[in-house]
Chains A and B, each alone.
Chain A
Amino acid sequence: MSVMTEKFSTVERVLLGLKDTGYIATMQIAHTLYLAFHLGKPILVEGPAGVGKTELSKATSSFMGVPLIRLQCYEGLDESKALYEWKYGKQLLYTQLLKDKLNRIIEGETSLAESIDKLHQYDDIFFSPQFLEPRPLLKALQEKDGAVLLVDEVDKSDDEFEAFLLEILSDFQVSIPEIGTIEATSQPFVFLTSNSTRELGEALRRRCLHLYISFPDQALEREIVRTRVPGISEKLTSQLVSFIHQVRKLDIKKLPSVSETIDWAKTLVLLHAEKLDRELVKNTLNTFLKAQEDIRVTEEKLHTLTEHALREAP
């Protein structure tokens, strides 16, 4: 049994493996990873911003012990940025530098046709792998021991790129006209993340397993904080998680993400806080609220929110 199959032999192993890397996963996440590995399918991860979609792929890569290759999508992204590109500069430079050499090769020939024939014997050298600049997708295919490929925010790319991605995701091979088909030596583990700025195509969804991550419940978030911020007291953890959960229920523009909860916890630990109080919260609100409007809304309700958090975790 290979190392990788061993790592994915049971759902519990996946769960513990992720935990070792510092990522506390829900059962659902572990189930989906397990299934994706055994079916050899990409996972499309959706969910609100800041629930740890990107983090999941990082954790998976360190759990599997393979490199993480990341492709950040944006409008206008195309093959030359995502797959490969020729090193035009190098090609041109080499033709110039090798001018003398080329002259010598065709020296003996008398007619133009013969010279060209002679040159034809060498023509492919400028379109060989040495002149190929691999971009993330090609890199992921070329990794010998497999890789975790993260196609981040795929909803930001255009429809055409999405269609192009389909081809790679279904066959794990690309064809470069000048060189031929390059096949994955070992199939990469693919994550696609989306924030739903645009509806993704049906075809892409069909090719992937789908995982929806929502904000963690209080128990899970407490565990996350405990793992990420060692040295935080139990009482403070419960209070701050309860506070954050209440803030998420407010009508604000940007809900505090899990990573912001962690930031806040770190801040409070640095300030040697033992428990929440109104003044402390007020002074540190900006660690997890990033819009002035949101801060204003929260400050108005600060008293009730803090009281509630203290009541829930005395």
Chain B
Amino acid sequence: MDRILENFITTLRRSGVRVSVAETMDALRAAELSGYGVRQLLKDFLSASLAKSLPEKEMFESCFRHFFSIDDTFEEDFPAEHDATPPAVQGAAFLTQAFLAGDGGGLTIAFNEAAGRADIGSIQSPTQKGLYTQRIFQELGMDTLNRDIRRLTEEGGQEALAQARFLEIMRDTLIERVRNRIQRQLDLYARQRVDELSEGYMRNMHLSSLDTRDLMRIHVIVQKMVKQLKDRYSRKQKAARRGRLDFKKTLRRSVTYSGLPFDIHWKSKKMDRPDIVAICDVSRSVSNVVRFFLLVVYSLNEVISRIRSFTFCSNLVEVSHLFETYPLQEALAMLKSGAGLPILMNRTDYGSSLCDFMDQYADSLSKSTTVIILGDARNNYWNPRTEVLRSISERCRRLIWLNPETPSLWGSGDSDMKAYLPYCTTARECSTLRHLEKVVEYLLRST
């Protein structure tokens, strides 16, 4: 197999482009068709057969640029008219000789070999940059070059000093090249490893400690989960739509046409639509996880058509329309601050919020509705009004309570979780993505 292509594909894989064996075969055939003569042709061919989405295309672009780059050659550093001065020092280092002789080709080869010997392919994180730089310097014999420069300077004389200055300039260029090379290597290979690490880490991290800049990444993870849920429903929907020939009805109708079946009838199954009501606490006691809660609700909104969302603090308001009109970041900011909503951000009152729900939106509940309540049940010692939750529970198919606190804290202090517990179909702790995954699994199992 083509060595260059093999290396290139490895590079692509490491930077996060998923390349299958079949695609590798395609790329091989494409490279055969194009050859390595025309850069643009090769690039377009490989891009078409290896990078299969816009983000992948971007990664491909940068990999291709880096991989087939020509930055590491030294030929251009020596202008053609550079007069090759023979080495002035006896027993001079390789670098000194090559620089003074203007041997660009030799330098290029030596540089690449040194990089190979220093094993820079296995660099993993930015903190290792110094280490690998030193290794390459060592392989190249940087210390002997320095020694030569020192000697030339000490020696004095016009020519020797000029040579020393020239060598110093070249040394700086070389150092720059080494740094660039290592940076590029890091860009090429290490990015994905860092990503992988942090995704696993993020799943187990407590939601309150997640940062705003992680929000988009979490959004992607949450979307993946929610999509599974949606797929489950769409399969049912499809079966319902397909329908079958309704033989009985067709025959019955055909009586009108003296037994000829002109009028054909189709049977269709009645389908179970996903129907979710999400009620989310946005008060101060849950302020550190509320962003995540809203994210979950937002993601649900994106994929499920029949969903109504509410947020509450001292009272309860419907917010479904916000999710539909605004992009994620804006919607979250608006909901969290309650700007433009008739919501009272005083002390949390679960009892009256539940009452609000029953008074105004009871019609959104039916025997097929799943109600999801996200909140910590910290009620500031108001009346919990458990009978309202009970009537909600009776009118819906199931009621799921997701609490950011661990079960051992439920019922402690002003938490009314224990009082609400009997009316929940299930109540779970939900403070990491791992927990959320489990909830989604539960939803899937029981639909």
Contact call B260/A93, Cβ cutoff below 8 A = yes
Interface residues of B in 2-32 (CB under 8 A from A): 18, 20, 22-23, 26, 29-30
Once bound together, how far apart are the Cα atoms of A77 and B44, in whole Å? 33
Residues of A within 8 A of B234 (CB): 158-160
| B57 with A78: CB separation less than 8 A | no
Distance in angstroms between the alpha carbons of A32 and B45 in the assembled complex: 6
Contact B40 A35 (CB under 8 A): no
B41 within 8 Å of A by Cβ?
yes
Tally of A interface residues using CB under 8 Å: 36
Report the Cα distance A89→B254, complex, angstroms.
Answer: 11
Stretch at the interface among B186-194, B238-246, B336-344: B238-246
Query: Given A31-B41, A92-B261, is A210 in contact with B53 using a C-beta cutoff of 8 Å?
Result: yes
- Asked if A314 CB lies within 8 Å of chain B CBs, one says no
Contact B264 A160 (CB under 8 A): no
Give A4 Cβ to nearest chain B Cβ, in Å.
16
Does B120 count as interface, using CB distance less than 8 angstroms? Answer: no
Specify the chain B residue showing the minimal Cβ separation from A205. Answer: B52
Distance in angstroms between the alpha carbons of A159 and B48 in the assembled complex: 23
User: Which residues of B lie under 8 Å from residue A209 when comparing CB positions?
Assistant: 26, 48-49
Interface residues of A in 14-28 (CB under 8 A from B): 27-28
Among B30, B33, B44: residue with most chain A CB under 10 A: B44
CA distance in complex: A89, B33 (Å): 51
Shortest Cβ distance from residue A90 to the other chain B in the assembled complex, whole angstroms: 10
Answer yes or no: A130 CB below 8 A from chain B CBs: no
Q: How many residues in B have their beta carbons less than 8 Å from beta carbons of A?
A: 35
Q: Does B250 contact A (CB under 8 A)?
A: yes
Once A31-B44, A212-B54 are accepted as A-B contacts, the answer to whether A39 and B264 lie under 8 Å apart by CB is: no
What's the least CB distance linking A210 to chain B, in Å? 4
Residue of B nearest to A89 (CB): B264
Q: A311 interface residue, CB < 8 Å from B?
A: no
- With both chains docked as a complex, state the minimum distance between the C-beta of B363 and any C-beta of chain A, in angstroms: 28
Per DSSP, chain A at the interface is: helix
Q: Which residues of A contact B262 (CB under 8 A)?
A: 89, 93
A210→B48 contact, CB < 8 A:
yes
Binary contact readout A95-111 vs B (1 if CB under 8 angstroms, 0 otherwise): 01100000000000000
Contact A76 B30 (CB under 8 A): no
Within A79-123, which residues are at the interface with B (CB < 8 Å)? Answer: 80, 88-89, 92-93, 96-97
CB atoms of B242 and A80 under 8 A apart: yes
Known A96-B261, A160-B235; contact A32-B242, beta-carbon cutoff 8 A = no
A255→B40 CA distance, assembly (Å): 29
Q: B53 to A160, Cβ gap below 8 A?
A: no
Q: Find the B residue at minimum CB distance from A36.
A: B48
Point out which of A44, A89, A159, A210 has the most chain B C-beta atoms below 10 A from its C-beta: A210
* B48 touching A27, Cβ below 8 Å: no
A211–B33 CB distance below 8 A? no
Is B441 an interface residue, CB under 8 A from the partner? no
**Shortest CB–CB separation between residue B253 and chain A, in angstroms?**
11
Please indicate which of the listed interface residues A31, A32, A34, A97 has the most CB atoms of chain B within 10 Å of its own CB.
Answer: A31
- Asked if B259 is at the interface (CB within 8 A of a chain A CB), the reply is yes
Q: Nearest Cβ in chain A — how far from B23, in angstroms?
A: 6
Partner pick for A46 among B54, B260, B261, CB 8 A cutoff: B54
By the criterion CB–CB under 8 Å, are A27 and B245 in contact?
A: no
Contact across chains for B29 and A39 when beta carbons are under 8 A apart: yes
Establish whether residues A28 and B44, one from each chain, have CB atoms under 8 Å apart when the complex forms.
Answer: yes
B238 pairs with A44, CB closer than 8 A: no
Which residues of A sit under 8 angstroms from B242, Cβ to Cβ? 78, 80
State whether the Cβ of A38 lies closer than 8 Å to any Cβ in chain B.
yes
Measured in the bound complex, the distance between the Cα atoms of B48 and A46 in whole Å is: 12
Taking a contact as CB atoms under 8 Å apart, the answer to whether B52 and A210 are in contact is yes
Contacts of B241 in A (CB 8 A): 76, 78
Contact A88 B48 (CB under 8 A): no
The answer on a CB contact under 8 Å between A39 and B26 is yes
* Interchain CB contact under 8 A, B264 and A46: no
B53 near A46 with CB under 8 A, answer yes
Of B40, B44, B245, the contact of A32 (CB 8 Å cutoff): B44
B415 within 8 A of A: no
- Nearest CB to that of B44 among chain A residues? A31
With A92-B250, A93-B260, A206-B20 as given contacts, are A38 and B33 in contact (CB-CB < 8 Å)?
Answer: yes
Say if the beta carbon of A51 comes within 8 Å of chain B. Answer: no
CB-CB under 8 A from A279, the residues of chain B are: none
A92 pairs with B22, CB closer than 8 A: no
B337 nearest CB across to chain A (Å): 23
Q: Are A96 and B260 neighbours in the complex by a CB distance under 8 Å?
A: yes
In Å, the complex CA distance between A92 and B253 comes to 13
CB distance from A6 to the nearest CB of B (A): 16
* Least Cβ–Cβ distance between A78 and chain B, in angstroms: 6
Whether A229 is near chain B, meaning CB under 8 Å from some CB there, is no
- A44 and B30 contact, CB distance less than 8 A: no
* Alpha-carbon distance between A88 and B266 when the two chains are bound, in angstroms: 11
Cross-chain contact of A11 among B41, B52, B250 (Cβ < 8 A)? B41
Contact check, B48 vs A32: say whether CB atoms are below 8 A apart.
Answer: yes
Q: Out of B22, B30, B47, B238, which one reaches A206, CB within 8 Å?
A: B22
Provided the pairs A27-B44, A41-B26, A202-B18 are in contact, do residues A158 and B51 lie with their beta carbons within 8 angstroms?
Answer: no
Nearest CB in chain B to that of A202: its residue: B18
A-side contacts of B47, CB under 8 Å = 28, 210
B168 located at the interface, meaning its Cβ lies under 8 Å from any Cβ of chain A in the complex: no
For residue B40, which residues in chain A have a CB less than 8 angstroms away from its CB? Answer: 27, 31
Asked if B73 is at the interface (CB within 8 A of a chain A CB), the reply is no
- Closest-by-CB residue of B relative to A91 is B261
Q: Is B285 an interface residue (CB 8 A)?
A: no
B30-A35 in contact (CB<8A):
yes
Say how far A82's CB is from chain B's closest CB, in angstroms: 12
- A208 adjacent to chain B (CB < 8 Å): yes
- Return the CB mask of A148-164 against B: 1 if under 8 Å, else 0: 00000000001110000
B231 at the interface (CB under 8 A from A): yes
When C-beta atoms are compared, the residue in chain A nearest to B237 turns out to be: A76
Interface residues of A in 194-220 (CB under 8 A from B): 196, 202, 205-212
CB-defined A-B contacts under 8 Å, sample of 6: A34-B33, A35-B45, A39-B29, A41-B26, A43-B48, A78-B238
Supplied contacts A158-B238, A210-B47, 14 more A-B pairs, CB within 8 Å: A31-B40, A31-B41, A39-B29, A43-B48, A80-B242, A88-B245, A92-B250, A93-B260, A96-B259, A97-B260, A160-B234, A206-B20, A207-B22, A210-B53
What 5 A-B pairs come out closest when comparing CB atoms? A31-B44, A205-B52, A92-B261, A209-B48, A210-B52
* Interface, chain A (partner B; CB < 8 A): 11, 27-28, 31-32, 34-36, 38-39, 41, 43-44, 46, 76, 78, 80, 88-89, 92-93, 96-97, 158-160, 196, 202, 205-212
